[in-house]
């Protein structure tokens, strides 16, 4: 087991009616002027926004509301949010929605706490983030894990770059997680979310670290088996409270770094997928199920034993040689994605790419023009990234 530091300070308020504690809890964290942010309108339709507004009003807390966050959240709206939150003298940001809204809230918090610095500078690496302001979320979709993660992903629509920022300042103060709020999620988002949760665990299961990490492996394997089983139930009945609870909690655990302790993360598929979302605006979970099969077929021979272990423990594949088990495990995973109607190649994703120049462009964006290698299980340079995009094509 390698050395590690783990600090996930986010308070979790989980269960039916969790959001009703929002005013009391935020006040306890010192909030007095709350900037509330939401997405494209699902929370207006479900009545959640007006419910939260009523609770905040009744408690006497000052607040201002901004909507309009799109999936693959855009920098321009974040900048607008920074201007509004600054003018409002906000001291707390509250996100109501999924990962895109929470990531925008984190970015608005960073921008508002650092006047004079363009918020994108933190994502491009031009400026170092040294302070921020507290963020809370009322989660409506189990997927990205942003409610507890140290990450936030923003798309700069001027350049087509979708980039993540990892920093302890991204850890929210508190998350309100009521599984009932996810009953209205469109089926496509439900399965994209579950696949994202699975991928957050997979991208920590296959890494360069070969030391024994028995407990971390067991946590990861239990999480993967559970998300696969519960998603099957939820797809048939999205109002199944138990299944939606399991998925919601798995989403937070999968991306708070708990399943990488003593190891590290790889996240190659995420980086290759972000370029697809940046250029074609594809849904995050769908970008991952498109890339993973190609990535796995490209890299499995680096560590066939690990892939065979995955096949045995997740898919119960117990016969055959190590190589046969490894390959069967990859096929089973691809079949699983297909069983959820998730895309497993560019054509199924709806972005068939014909010319090699476009693949080169994606690989250039992902590797900063071949100056950065991706991941550690099999570090990828630009040429390798092109090969994986080609395999996925």
Which residues of this protein are in contact with ligand NZQ, per CB under 6 A? 39-43, 71-73, 97-101, 103, 140-141, 143-146, 149, 151-153, 181-182, 184-186, 189, 193, 196, 255, 270, 284
CB of 166 to ligand NZQ, least distance (A): 9
Tell me the window of 157-165, 188-196, 239-247, 357-365 that interacts with Zn ion (CB under 5 A).
188-196
Closest CB to ligand NZQ among residues 152, 177: 152
What are the C-alpha distances in Å from 141 to residues 99, 147, 231, 244, 245?
Answer: 8, 10, 13, 10, 11
Neighbours of 157 (CB within 10 A): 17
Residue 172: name its binding partner from ligand NZQ, Zn ion, none (Cβ under 5 to 8 Å by kind).
none
133 Cβ neighbours under 8 A, 6+ residues apart: 90, 91, 92, 93, 109, 110, 112, 113
CB of 257 to ligand NZQ, least distance (A): 10
The verdict on 266 binding Zn ion (CB under 5 A) reads no
CB of 203 to ligand NZQ, least distance (A): 9
SS (H, E, C) 30-77: CCCEEEEEECCCHHHHCCHHHHHHHHHHHHCCEEEEECCCCCCCEHHH
Contacts 24+ apart (CB under 8 A), 318-325: none
Closest CB to Zn ion among residues 151, 309: 151
Closest CB to ligand NZQ among residues 100, 231: 100
Closest CB to ligand NZQ among residues 185, 311: 185
Distance, in Å, from the CA atom of 101 to the CA atom of 38, rounded to the nearest integer, reads: 6
Tokens coding 329: 């495990």
Closest CB to ligand NZQ among residues 273, 329: 273
Closest CB to ligand NZQ among residues 46, 86: 46
The verdict on 196 binding Zn ion (CB under 5 A) reads yes
Residue 208: name its binding partner from ligand NZQ, Zn ion, none (Cβ under 5 to 8 Å by kind).
none
CB 200 within 8 A of CB 150: no
Site size for Zn ion (CB under 5 A): 1
Tokens coding 54: 């009523």
Q: Which strands sit side by side in the sheet containing 11-14, from one edge to the other?
A: 11-14, 174-177, 135-139, 92-97, 33-38, 62-66
Site for Zn ion in 77-106 (CB under 5 A): none
Residue 304: name its binding partner from Zn ion, ligand NZQ, none (Cβ under 5 to 8 Å by kind).
none
271 Cβ neighbours under 8 A, 6+ residues apart: 366, 374, 375
CB of 188 to ligand NZQ, least distance (A): 9
Q: Give me the residues that bind Zn ion (CB under 5 A), please.
A: 196
């Amino acid at each position: 087991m390698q050395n590690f530091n783990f600090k996930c300070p986010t308070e979790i308020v989980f269960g039916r009616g969790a959001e009703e504690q929002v005013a009391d809890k935020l006040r306890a964290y010192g909030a007095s002027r709350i900037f509330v942010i939401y997405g494209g309108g699902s929370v207006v339709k479900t009545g959640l926004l007006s419910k939260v507004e009523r609770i905040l009003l009744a408690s006497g807390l000052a607040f201002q509301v901004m909507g309009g966050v799109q999936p693959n959240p855009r920098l321009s709206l974040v900048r607008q949010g920074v201007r509004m939150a600054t003018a409002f003298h906000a001291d707390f940001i509250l996100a109501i929605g999924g990962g895109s809204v929470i990531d925008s809230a984190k970015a608005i918090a960073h921008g508002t706490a650092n006047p004079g610095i363009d918020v994108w500078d933190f994502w491009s690496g031009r400026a170092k983030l040294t302070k921020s302001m507290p963020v809370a979320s009322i989660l409506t979709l189990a997927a990205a894990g942003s409610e507890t993660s140290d990450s936030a992903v923003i798309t700069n629509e001027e350049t087509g770059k979708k980039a993540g920022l990892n920093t302890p300042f991204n850890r929210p103060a508190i998350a309100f997680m009521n599984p009932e709020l996810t009953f209205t999620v469109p089926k496509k988002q439900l399965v994209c979310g579950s696949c994202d949760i699975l991928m957050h665990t997979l991208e920590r299961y296959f890494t360069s670290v070969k030391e024994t990490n028995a407990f971390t492996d067991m946590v990861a394997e239990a999480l993967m088996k559970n998300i696969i089983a519960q998603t099957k139930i939820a797809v048939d009945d999205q109002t199944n409270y138990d299944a939606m609870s399991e998925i919601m909690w798995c989403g937070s655990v999968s991306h708070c770094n708990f399943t990488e302790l003593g190891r590290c993360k790889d996240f190659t598929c995420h980086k290759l997928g972000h370029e697809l979302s940046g250029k074609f605006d594809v849904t995050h979970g769908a970008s991952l199920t498109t890339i993973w099969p190609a990535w796995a077929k490209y890299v499995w021979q680096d560590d066939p034993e690990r892939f065979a272990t995955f096949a045995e423990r997740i898919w119960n594949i117990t016969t055959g040689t190590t190589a046969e088990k490894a390959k069967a495990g990859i096929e089973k995973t691809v079949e699983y994605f297909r069983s959820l109607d998730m895309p497993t190649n560019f054509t199924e994703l709806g972005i068939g790419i014909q010319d090699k120049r476009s693949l080169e462009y994606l690989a250039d964006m992902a590797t900063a023009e071949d100056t950065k290698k991706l991941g550690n299980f099999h570090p990828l340079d630009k040429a390798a990234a092109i090969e994986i995009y080609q395999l996925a094509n």
